[in-house]
């Protein structure tokens, strides 16, 4: 099975990051501009959290807070679950499923190298399945 570093290389993986003091409003604008559903929260070079559209809905809107007055630090998930670059797709999918998350930071040698979305994983699985089907068809037709 393909490892995560390979999936990252094939995806349009752009790491969109903010500082802990960035307002929720500015973070949402950044997500919209980049068409992503999450931003990683970095304190200099260190990953300290992740904030998603779901966090906004549940921790700002439902709590009656104002996006312009609330910092990402107040709503982010601190110390997010991560996977390593060498981990398998299976490990990544199990991690996402077990933790009920849709965005997963990828760390290599202590440094953030990307963020995988559930969509990235789905596209990788589809590509892998298409390859396997093509190989099976070639085998059945005697073209191997």
Mean pLDDT of 121-134: 83
Tokens for 136? 């099976």
Query: Which structural domains are found in the chain, ordered by start?
Result: 4-140 (3.10.580.10)
- Residue 61 to residues 41, 79, 104, 130, Cα–Cα distance (Å): 20, 23, 24, 41
Percent helix, percent strand, percent coil in the chain, to nearest 5: 45, 25, 30
Listed in sequence order, the residues at least 6 apart from 89 whose beta carbon sits closer than 8 Å to its beta carbon are 1, 2, 3, 4, 7, 121, 124, 125, 128
Smallest Cα–Cα separation from 5: which of 77, 129, 81, 109?
109
23-60 per-position pLDDT tens digit? 999 999 999 999 999 999 999 999 999 999 999 999 99
Q: What is the pLDDT of residue 76?
A: 97
Mean pLDDT for the chain?
Answer: 90
Mean pLDDT of 85-99: 92
- Whether the Cβ atoms of residue 102 and residue 96 lie closer than 8 Å to each other: yes
Smallest Cα–Cα separation from 62: which of 77, 75, 51, 71?
75
Claim: this prediction has a pTM higher than 0.85: no
Indicate the pairing of strand 38-43 with strand 17-18. parallel
């Amino acid at each position: 099975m393909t490892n995560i570093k390979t999936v990252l290389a094939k995806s349009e993986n752009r790491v969109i990051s903010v500082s802990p003091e960035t307002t929720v409003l500015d973070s949402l604008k950044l997500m919209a501009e980049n068409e992503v559903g999450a931003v990683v929260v970095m304190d200099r070079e260190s990953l300290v959290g992740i904030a998603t559209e779901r966090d906004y809905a549940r921790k700002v809107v439902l709590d009656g807070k104002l996006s312009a007055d609330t910092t990402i630090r107040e709503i982010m998930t601190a110390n997010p679950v991560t996977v390593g670059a060498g981990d398998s797709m299976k490990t990544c999918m199990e991690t996402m499923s077990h933790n009920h998350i849709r965005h997963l930071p990828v760390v290599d040698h202590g440094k953030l190298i990307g963020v995988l979305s559930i969509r990235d994983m789905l596209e990788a699985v589809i590509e892998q399945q298409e390859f396997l089907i093509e190989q099976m068809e070639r085998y059945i037709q005697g073209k191997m």
